[in-house]
Structure 1
Amino acid sequence: MDRHDDGSQTAVAQPVTDNPSDVRERRVDEERALEARRREEFGGLNLGADFFGWLVAVAVTLLLTGIIGAILTGVNSSVSITQDEAERSAGTIGIVSAILLLVVLMIGYYFGGYVAGRMSRFDGGRQGLGVWLIGLVVTALVVVVGLIFGNEYDVFRRVDLPSMPIPTDTATAGGLITLAAVVLGTLLAATVGGKAGQRYHRKVDRVVV
């Protein structure tokens, strides 16, 4: 308080300080609002990231297929994980070949989904789904071209590209089981990989906040 010459006193206003908890709450609310605007503008499927994720999935699949094939050849094993073997296994349930093929594909699509999720800030699960959808569409197109123009145009047979093998004999129980396992397994792996890739951005956000 200030004292005047006449003896009266005048109260001096004290600076108002915000409660630290209120400051934190406002900051969190602002960050959430900003995150919502960013998600609205940049969220959803990122086709560019999904395409590059699919390329990674194919590359990893080919790499693992070559490594496993070399190992099996070295031990004189008759097991194969090529497209032809996948189709034969569809009818006879070749357990070893089917499991190897499924594991290789799931690993490939996991890494593909991870790359797509890492490249995109939002919706990692959707990016993994996008990778899987691109693989499904490409496979369907190649299969249709092969059916229309003959086996010489079947890319999967020519380069052993088992990115999403679909057995030609799907009428049998074995074919349906193999097809369902491949479709669901790769979908799950790509989605989980996309979510794992997105975690990098969440870690950065926590540090910034």
Structure 2
Amino acid sequence: MFDTKTLQITALVVFLVILFLSYFVGGFVAARMARFSGLKQGLAVWLWGLVMSIIAAVVIVVVASQNHTATVFQGSGAGLKLSDFTSVEALVSEGLIVVLSLGGALVGGLAGLGYHRKIDRFGLESV
């Protein structure tokens, strides 16, 4: 019905939209909790996400390198090669993931500042 390339692109677009919205909400909430540093809070959300992703990747590599798990992965044909991550399509996808996650966190952080700016401008009685 659909070819593989179309399904891959559709899945990537859906994933990127969800990723952007997730980081936007994270940056927004962090900025709402902080008073005047929405951009810094958005950046901190992105950095924490990056750190957690690295930790998860290391744990997955360690678990997959264990003897009993490696045979399961090799038997299912799920082995990954470096060329899987360095093709043009993969590099573009990885770049989009970095740019959209960082952009979402920063834009969310800036959007979260709006609440405090309203309060500071009008006072608590008029909000």
Q: How would you bin the TM-score normalised by the shorter chain?
A: 0.7 to 0.9
| C-alpha displacement of 1:126 | 1.1
Q: CA deviation at 1:122?
A: 1.3
What are the residue-to-residue correspondences of 1:24-39 with 2, within 5 Å? none
CA RMSD of aligned residues (A): 2.7
The residue matched to 1:147 in structure 2 has which SS? helix
Structure with the larger helix share: 2
Structure of larger gyration radius: 1
Ranges in structure 1 where 5+ consecutive residues have no aligned partner: 1-76, 79-87, 154-167
Q: 2-side partners of 1:194 and 1:129: how far apart?
A: 8
Partner of 2:117: 202
Distance 1:179 1:121, change over 3 A: same
Task: Give me the whole-angstrom Cα distance separating, in 1, the residues matched to 2:108 and 2:31.
Answer: 7
Corresponding letter in the other structure for 1:131: V
TM-score (norm 1): 0.47
8 Å contact from structure 1 (residues 113, 128) kept in 2: yes
Correspondence for 1:186: 101
Asked if the contact 1:93–1:174 (Cα under 8 Å) also holds between the matched residues in 2, the reply is: no
Quote how far apart the aligned CAs of 1:174 are.
1.1
Q: What's the secondary structure of 1:122's corresponding residue?
A: coil
Which whole-Å CA distance do the structure 1 matches of 2:52 and 2:45 have between them?
11
Aligned to 1:131: 45
1:114 maps to which residue? 28
Q: Does 1:100 align with 2:14?
A: yes
Deviations 1:116-160 (A, max 9, x none): 00000011011111111101110011101111221899xxxxxxx
Give the % identical residues. Answer: 39
Structure 2 residue ranges without an equivalent (≥5):
70-81
User: RCO greater where, 1 or 2, for CA within 8 Å and sep 6 or more?
Assistant: 2
Amino acid at match of 2:98: V
Say if 1:94 and 1:151 are closer, same or farther in 2 by CA, change over 3 A. farther
